[in-house]
């Protein structure tokens, strides 16, 4: 009889703990939001790329910054990639690129892409050299990328 009471009490406590675990919300993803998610600068800060985000964590984009004043500096490209989570893993939903030609300086942003809370999607920023193909500056195709940011 006593064993049944102990077992019933343990089942009751286990049910309450399980219920509490299910009912408790996850920590909000917006707690880690900032305008710069990732930044990398090279060659004494003459060029860099960033994964940018708005303060509400609803958008992300790539930013290319070139501070070099050399007229023969190569062209550069930046890309932001968004992947969405599915039951089978992540798949690429969008990639946006922006390029700056040889000798250009300043800041160039990619198109903004949506951002969801938590692990529903992830983003990364990549950079590459760019070349002129006769009509436009295009990436060379050898991207160097950051890690994934959720």
Decide if 17 is inside a domain.
Answer: no
**For residue range 99-115, what is the model confidence (pLDDT) as tens digits?**
999 888 889 999 999 99
If one counts the domains in the chain, the total is 1
**For residue range 2-37, what is the model confidence (pLDDT) as tens digits?**
444 444 444 444 443 333 322 222 333 334 577 888
The CA-atom distances, in angstroms, between 123 and each of 71, 82, 90, 92, 99 are 33, 5, 11, 10, 19
Decide if 150 is inside a domain.
Answer: no
**For residue range 69-78, what is the model confidence (pLDDT) as tens digits?**
677 778 999 9
For 58-80, the DSSP string reads: SEEEEEEEE----TTPPEEEEEE
Decide if 19 is inside a domain.
Answer: no
Domain containing residue 105: CATH number: 2.60.40
Write down the pLDDT at residue 110.
96
- What is the share, in percent, of the chain residues with pLDDT greater than 70? 74
Q: Which domain holds residue 45?
A: 33-145
Full-model pTM: 0.73
């Amino acid at each position: 009889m006593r064993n049944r009471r102990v077992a019933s009490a343990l089942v009751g406590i286990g049910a309450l703990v399980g219920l509490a675990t299910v009912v408790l919300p996850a920590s909000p993803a917006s707690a880690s939001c900032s305008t710069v998610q990732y930044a990398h600068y090279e060659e004494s800060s003459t060029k860099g790329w960033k994964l940018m985000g708005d303060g509400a964590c609803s958008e992300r984009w790539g930013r290319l910054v070139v501070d070099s004043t050399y007229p023969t500096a190569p062209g550069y490209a930046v890309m932001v990639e968004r992947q969405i989570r599915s039951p089978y893993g992540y798949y690429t939903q969008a990639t946006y690129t922006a390029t700056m030609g040889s000798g250009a300086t300043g800041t160039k942003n990619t198109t903004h892409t949506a951002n969801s809370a938590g692990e529903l999607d992830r983003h990364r920023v990549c950079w590459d050299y760019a070349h002129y193909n006769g009509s436009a500056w295009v990436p060379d195709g050898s991207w160097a990328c950051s890690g994934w940011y959720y």
